[in-house]
A and B are shown apart, each in its own frame.
Chain A
Amino acid sequence: MIVSVDGSAPTPPYEQIRVQVRDAVAGGALAAGAKLPTVRALADELGLAVNTVARAYRELETDGIIETRGRAGSFVAPQGDAGQQQAQVAAREFVERARRLGLDDASALDLVRAAQRR
C-alpha cells in the first residue's frame, strides 16, 4: 500500500494522507492489525513536517480507523460491528500463524476453503 502526497494540489497534505489511509482500510488494502510507519518515518519519506503527519494520524484515530498502542506504534483498528471486528482479528492471527509455519498464502487460502466446505 503506497500513499502519495501532491504538493501542488489544493487539498492539504494531512487530508490527502487521511483520505488515502481511510480508503485503503475500507477497501481492504490495509487489514485490521496492520502496523503503520511511525509519524517521523512517514514524514521523512514524504518530505513533510512531522506535525502534518501527526495531524493525519490523530484524525484517523478520532475516526476509529487506526489505534495507537503506546510505544508499539499505530495500527489499523478492527472495523465494523463486534462480530466483524473479531473475524478480522481471527483472520489476521491465522495469516500470521500460517506464515510462521512456512505456508505460502495460496496454501493458507486452500485450508480456509477446505474448512468452509465442512
Chain B
Amino acid sequence: MRAQDVSEVLAEQSIWIPSDVFFGSVTGALVVGVLTFVGLAVVDLVKTWRDAPREKLVNKLALQVNMEVSDDIREALTDQVAMRERGRLVGTIVALLALLALLPPVTTGVADLGLAAAPISLGLCFVGIQLGAFIGGALGRRTVATNETVARLQPLGLADYVHPLERRMALVAAILAVSIPALALGALSALGGSPLTEVAVGAPVLAVTGLAVGAVYLALPSIARRLGARRVLRGDTAALAWSDALTGRALSDLHWLIAFWGGLVAFVSLQTVGLALSTGAPDQAAVAINVVSYVALGIVLAAILIVVMRSPERHVQRTLWPELAIVAE
C-alpha cells in the first residue's frame, strides 16, 4: 500500500477533536494533577506536628548526611528540621497554586509566554520550595540547653559547605543560562525577528530569566556567608556540626536550583533557536527540537548520575566533621 493510501485510510478512520476541547482537556488534567500534589503536600504538612514522622525526618536526614545525632540535640534538631520541612511544604503549596493561576483559561489553551512558560513555571515551583525551606529553617533557629557552648571564630566559605561537583554543575548551568538565551536573541535579531509569536515573545523573557539565574549564582558566596553567620542550632559542638550540615544542605539545594533552572532556560532557548531557524520548514524544526531534546536529556542524566554517585550531601561530614560519621567511608 502506498504512503498516500495509508494516510487517506488513517484520515478516514481518525476522529476530529476541536483544538479547544483538546487543550481544554490537557489543561484540566494538569489542574487535577497540580491539585493532587497540593493535597499531598497538605497531608505531609499536617504530619510535621506528629512525633513519628518528625523522628523519621531526622533519621532520614542523619543517614543522608552521615552524621550522628546526639541525645542532647535530638529534640532541638527535630524541631528545626520540622520547621524547615513545614517551610518547604508551604512554599510548595504556594508555588503550585501560583502555577495554577498562571495556567491559561481552559477555552484558549495557549500559554501567553509561549516557550518561556516552561522554565518560568518550573523555576517558580523550585524557587517557592527552596524559599519556603529557607524561611522555615530561619524561623526554626533553636538553642540547645548545654553547659558548653561553641562558636566558630572564622566563618566558613562556600567551598566548605558544598561539594566541588555541585559547584561546577551550577557554574556550567549559570554560564549556559546566560549565554544561550543571549545567542538566541542575537540569532533572532540577525534573522530580523521571527513570525512565530512564541519565539518573538519568549526569547527576551528567556534572556531575562537567564540573567536572573546568573545573578543568583554570583550571589552564592554572599548567601553562604550570611547563612553560615545565622547558625540554626546554637549550643555545643554537636549543635555546631548539625548547623554546618543544615547550612550545607540549604546551599546545596540552591546549587541544584540553579542547575535545574539554568539548564531548563538554556534548553528552551536552544529550542527557540531551532524554531526560529526552521520557520517555514516544519520537518526541520521537529528534527532540530528532537535532537536538542535527546542530547540535552542525555547530558542532564549523565551529570546527575555523576554528581549523585559522589554523595555530595556528605561533603560537610567528610571535610569538617569526620569524627561524627555514622558509616565510615
Binding site for B on A (CB under 8 A): 1-8, 21, 24, 30, 34-37, 41-42, 44-48
Query: Which residue from chain B places its CB closest to the CB of A42 in the assembled complex?
Result: B151
- B149 contacts across to A, CB distance below 8 A: 4-5, 7, 45-48
The CA-CA distance from A41 to B155 in the complex, in Å, is 11
- Closest chain B CB from A10 CB (angstroms): 13
A45 to B151, CA, bound (A): 6
Q: Do the beta carbons of B229 and A30 come within 8 Å of each other?
A: no
Q: Are B153 and A45 in contact (CB under 8 A)?
A: no
Is residue B147 within 8 Å, beta carbon to beta carbon, of the partner chain? yes
Interface residues of B (CB under 8 A from A): 143, 147-155, 229, 231, 234-237, 240
Check if A4 sits within 8 Å of B231, measured CB to CB: no
A28 shortest CB reach to chain B, Å: 13
A1:B148 contact, CB within 8 angstroms: no
Question: Which chain B residues lie closer than 8 Å to A35 at the CB level?
Answer: 154
**Chain A residue at minimal CB-CB distance from B235:** A47
Task: Tell me what chain A mostly uses at the interface: helix, strand, loop, or mixed.
Answer: mixed
* Also in contact, A1 and B154, with CB within 8 A (given A41-B229, A45-B231, A47-B234): yes
A42: chain B residues at CB < 8 Å are 151, 153
Nearest-CB distance from B21 to chain A (Å)? 58
What A residues does B154 contact at CB under 8 A? 1, 30, 34-36
Instruction: Judge whether A37 and B151 touch: CB under 8 Å.
Output: yes
Question: How far apart sit A28 and B147, CA to CA, in the bound complex (Å)?
Answer: 28
Q: Which residues of A contact B153 (CB under 8 A)?
A: 1-3, 21, 24, 30, 34, 36-37, 42
- Chain B min CB distance to A16 (Å): 10
**Nearest-CB distance from A65 to chain B (Å)?**
12
**A3 vs B152: C-alpha distance when bound (angstroms):** 6
A30 contacts across to B, CB distance below 8 A: 153-154
Q: Give Cα A71–Cα B292 distance, bound, in whole angstroms.
A: 53
B143 neighbours in A (Cβ, 8 Å): 47
Give the chain B neighbours of A4 by CB distance below 8 A. Answer: 148-151, 236-237
Are A2 and B152 in contact, with the CB atoms below 8 A? yes
A7 and B229 contacting across the interface, CB-CB below 8 Å: no
* Interchain CB contact under 8 A, A7 and B148: yes
Q: Which residue of A lies closest to B231 (CB)?
A: A45
Residue in B148, B151, B231, B240 whose Cβ sees the most chain A Cβ within 10 Å: B151
How many angstroms from the CA of A4 to the CA of B237 in the assembled complex?
Answer: 8
Partner of B147, one of A7, A21, A46: A7
Contact B155 A2 (CB under 8 A): no
Alpha-carbon separation in the docked complex, A34 to B155 (Å) = 10
Chain A: CB-nearest residue to B145: A47
The distance from the CB of B93 to the nearest CB of chain A, in whole angstroms, is 32
- B151 neighbours in A (Cβ, 8 Å): 2-4, 37, 42, 45-46
A67 to B143: give the CA distance in the assembly, Å: 30
A36 closest partner in B (C-beta): B153
CB distance from B234 to the nearest CB of A (A): 6
Residues of A within 8 A of B152 (CB): 1-3, 37, 45
User: B264 to chain A: closest CB distance in Å?
Assistant: 29
Inter-chain CA distance A34–B154, complex, in Å, is: 8
Q: Nearest-CB distance from A30 to chain B (Å)?
A: 7
Q: How far is the CB of A24 from chain B (nearest CB, A)?
A: 7
Nearest neighbor of A104 in chain B, beta-carbon distance: B159
Query: What A residues does B231 contact at CB under 8 A?
Result: 45
- Contact call B155/A37, Cβ cutoff below 8 A: yes
Measured between alpha carbons, how far is A6 from B149 in the docked complex, in Å?
7
